[in-house]
Structure 1
Amino acid sequence: MKTKAPQTQNVLLTISSIYSSMTKAEKKVAEAVQANPEEAVLYTITDLSEKAGVGETSVIRFCRKLGFGGYHEFKLAIAQHVVSEPKHYTGEIEDGDSSVAILQKLTDRNAQMIRDTGALLSADALEEAVRALASGKRIHIYGVGSSGMTAMDAYYSFMRIGLNADVQRDGHIIAMSAALVGEGDVVFGISTSGSTKDLVDPMRTAKKNGATTICLTSHGRSPITQHADVVLLVPAKESPFQGGSLSTKIAQMHVLDILTSLIIVSRKEPSVQSITKTANAVADKLY
């Protein structure tokens, strides 16, 4: 399956999502644009090639990799971003910052992550994922490491609304599970990098076996997307002060919340019944 660049009006998010798949020259162009998009709007193709230290043909290849027909179309997209994108304060935490300053910086940064997730997500991909999850015979959720924790959250959300789901977080068990899936099954693979062998190989196996495959990742042209019928993209912005993947975790949880809400809307009566039953099942666990 050939993966296209994500369809979003926020061209900077698109650049970030496929950055890892770019050539060295294309990455130099990407970095030049990301460093100062306001100035990039004014660059000619020669200006940008000189700024990035590459040839003009590399700039053209960069534009086409993003899904644009040429440099002019790319510049229009950048201009639209600069005009329409609100400016938010997301400064880095520094020595001497007060508790109030750190609270505000992290709040702004995480709020921006949710906004960026909304801008990057494809409505068509969401609808495809909801149709598959709501009608699947059984949903198999896979994730390892930090993504394994997100996989557990997905299982909890889907189970509460009555979907027939299971979750696996061990690489060997994931491989065995994928070997047994077939038509009517849905495999939901979660991998921030999209390059984890414990996820990519089982996704390939599941797809060959006839299962519908969905992936949640931060890299639009990573290996896992080659074996996914539906690709759900979230931004990847990590900082040493965020515990490595906390910001990505926030984005992933936001997607799960959206998916769960859409599924409830699409099958309201059985979803409400399941939520009521599961709530009643633990009611006596509270004082």
Structure 2
Amino acid sequence: MTSTISPPLGGTRAMLQSLVPSLVPSERRVAQACIDDPRFVAAASVAELAARAGVSPATVVRACQRMGFGGFQRLRELLIRDQAMPQDGPVPAAFEHPLEGVFSRAIEGIRGALGALDLAAFDAAAGRIRECGRLLVVGNGASLAAAQSVGLHFLTSGKVCESPVDIISQHISAKLLKPGDVCLAVSDSGMNNFTLRSAVLAKEAGAVVVAITSYGKSELAELSDYPLVAGADFHRWNDSTVTGNIVQMLLLSALHAAALGTLPTAIAARAEVYDEVRMMVAQPDRA
């Protein structure tokens, strides 16, 4: 491997989470040991980590290389570096109200969510969306609400944007895209077959595919031109909590802001929409 990944300060654990599904079981045990106890790994040798994960030292080295760290020493350096990041302790269990618990864990998850995100890819994707003639936003299952929300925001900012709800319309719209258009595909797992099909059709049509997903080696991330990966670490507590993917929504909001937030035409379009909504609300009830 000629280059190694370099997550931001505090982001190594989130990077590991985003890569776990792409590993074979023995390598996955190595990654999970790093996720479960990064302080131990930061001070451990290859042999000690191998013993903790129940694998051979060669598997530890291979896992580090597969994940893009180049070797164990590089992963260890990043984990040591991350120890310098201030950590807020959890709310003590004896005093934790369920509401406080949800919010404190969400804050913790959001703090490290960008560890796997390529900021250069984010900037490039925002630029392609800004310049495209037509934007298609697709999402299904648990990602449908986020896709619909950001689609509405692009539309109210004056961008020619479609965000069909039904699968057939998504596929037809993707197939009719042209070179220079953009398909923004939202799938937390990166494995939703309906969303993947739209992305494939958009790619075949010559459009640019921007992926919003939590896993860097997912099928959607692999086929996209700009994979924007964030939020895998969020799932370690969020799977049993009815909150939706907050990280996904924040990333989409940031993408919308980066693409159109300060454009004069977008600002004017949002002002017109606001005036229209205000007029509708001000209308007397004629029922």
Taking only aligned residues, the RMSD between alpha carbons, in angstroms, comes to: 2.1
Alignment of 1:106-121 (within 5 A): 106-121=102-117
Percent of aligned pairs with the same amino acid? 21
Shift of the alpha carbon at 1:268?
Answer: 2.1
* Residue in structure 1 matched with residue 274 of structure 2 by the alignment: 279
* Residue in structure 2 matched with residue 42 of structure 1 by the alignment: 43
Higher deviation after alignment, 107-116 or 135-144: 107-116
Output the amino acid matched with 1:286. Answer: V
* Residue in structure 1 matched with residue 263 of structure 2 by the alignment: 268
Q: Partners of 2:166 and 2:219 in 1: how far apart? A: 20
Structure 1 runs of 4+ aligned residues shifted over 4 Å read 4-7
Higher deviation after alignment, 232-241 or 17-26: 232-241
* Residue in structure 2 matched with residue 83 of structure 1 by the alignment: 84
Q: Partners of 1:179 and 1:164 in 2: how far apart? A: 17
The answer on 1:232 being equivalent to 2:232 is no
The answer on 1:150 being equivalent to 2:149 is no
- Contact 1:141–1:155 under 8 Å retained in 2: yes
Q: Partners of 2:98 and 2:150 in 1: how far apart? A: 30
| Cα deviations by residue, 1:141-175 (Å, 9 ceiling, x for unpaired) | 00111211111111111112111101023222222
Give SS of 1:276's match: helix
* Residue in structure 2 matched with residue 186 of structure 1 by the alignment: 182
Output the amino acid matched with 2:271. Answer: T
TM-score (norm 1): 0.89
Give the gaps of 5 or more residues in structure 1.
none
- Contact 1:6–1:122 under 8 Å retained in 2: no
* Residue in structure 1 matched with residue 285 of structure 2 by the alignment: none
Give SS of 2:97's match: helix
Give the gaps of 5 or more residues in structure 2.
283-287
Shift of the alpha carbon at 1:6?
Answer: 6.6
Q: Partners of 2:175 and 2:212 in 1: how far apart? A: 20
- Contact 1:19–1:30 under 8 Å retained in 2: yes
Give SS of 2:162's match: strand
Shift of the alpha carbon at 1:101?
Answer: 1.8
* Residue in structure 1 matched with residue 65 of structure 2 by the alignment: 64
Give SS of 1:214's match: strand
Q: Partners of 1:211 and 1:144 in 2: how far apart? A: 20
Give SS of 2:29's match: helix
Alignment of 1:240-259 (within 5 A): 241-243=240-242, 246=243, 249-259=245-255
The answer on 1:169 being equivalent to 2:165 is yes
Count of matched residue positions in the alignment of Structure 1 and Structure 2: 275
Shift of the alpha carbon at 1:26?
Answer: 0.7
